[in-house]
Amino acid sequence: MRRSLVAGNWKMHGSRAENTRLLNGLLEYDGNDWEAEAAVCPPFVYLTDAARLLKESHVFLGAQDVCAEAAGAFTGEVCAAMLKDVGCHYVIVGHSERRALYREDDQLVARKFLAAQSQGLVPILCVGETLSEREAGQTEAVVGRQFDAVAAVAPPAAFEKAVLAYEPVWAIGTGKNATPEQAQEVHAFLRSRIAKLDARIASLLRILYGGSVKASNAAELFAMPDVDGGLVGGASLKAEEFAKICSVA
Ligand code: PEP
């Protein structure tokens, strides 16, 4: 049985005061009726504050990115050991904004995945196609390629300690989510891809859907058999909305 996960990607939003309000608001719902795991991924500079606020809670902490290198002369970067040190459990790798805006290619994402796992962090590996790729019928080729780049360097067992997130680029921050059927189709494709490597691990792997998830559409998306929760951007910045999404997961 896979336990659902709802992870909030705050992106570059927040302040110390806003985050305190948001997390305290979220903690009012913590433990109420969530069967799902919940996690929040604040910007790097707020991780320590968030770790302190979440200390006694069931909400996990995650980061939005990680350096592929272990340590050293990489000005501006944050390595996996540091994320672990401040209390992170999860880290997002290969978010489409990192791929598109910061030119992260499949190979770099794969190295980040390995770097995260080397420190005991659980990577949330994002894959997803653009609108033009979908319209050209390339969705499976694109997400398959993005997944294969990681599978080429990580053994099948690595996916036992990882989470996959299908995030169609055209649905992120646009208010236009994939339909449950569209999401299910790609999730099933990804699970079958992993099943070719290891059927048991494929059945255990959590595959999240991300792209304009809200309280109003979460239930129908999460009802699909291969959708094991969500990676939530905008709606994770409102405590009540995020808590509602967690409670339906
Ligand atoms: C995201 O940031 O990964 C995301 C899915 O954003 P949104 O929920 O706002 O579309």
35 is catalytic: no
* 173 pocket-lining for ligand 1 (C-beta < 6 Å): yes
* 211 pocket-lining for ligand 1 (C-beta < 6 Å): yes
Ligand 1 centroid to Cα of residue 127, in Å, is: 13
pLDDT (tens digit, 9 = 90+) per residue, 198-221? 999 999 999 999 999 999 999 999
Q: For position 35, what pLDDT does the model report?
A: 87
Residue nearest to atom 7 of ligand 1 (CA): 233
* Dihedral sign, Cα of residue 128, residue 41, residue 241, residue 207: positive
Q: For position 32, what pLDDT does the model report?
A: 65
Residue nearest to atom 3 of ligand 1 (CA): 233
167 is catalytic: yes
* 212 pocket-lining for ligand 1 (C-beta < 6 Å): yes
Cβ(143)–Cβ(129) below 8 Å: yes
Name the residue among 5, 68, 66, 76 with its Cα closest to residue 34.
Answer: 5
Q: For position 34, what pLDDT does the model report?
A: 81
The model carries a pTM of: 0.98
Nearest ligand 1 atom, CA 167: 5
* 96 pocket-lining for ligand 1 (C-beta < 6 Å): no
Q: What is the pLDDT along the chain (249 residues), one digit of tens a residue?
A: 799 999 999 999 999 999 999 999 999 998 667 889 999 999 999 999 999 999 999 999 999 999 999 999 999 999 999 999 999 999 999 999 999 999 999 999 999 999 999 999 999 999 999 999 999 999 999 999 999 999 999 999 999 999 999 999 999 999 999 999 999 999 999 999 999 999 999 999 999 999 999 999 999 999 999 999 999 999 999 999 999 999 999
Ligand 1 centroid to Cα of residue 9, in Å, is: 7
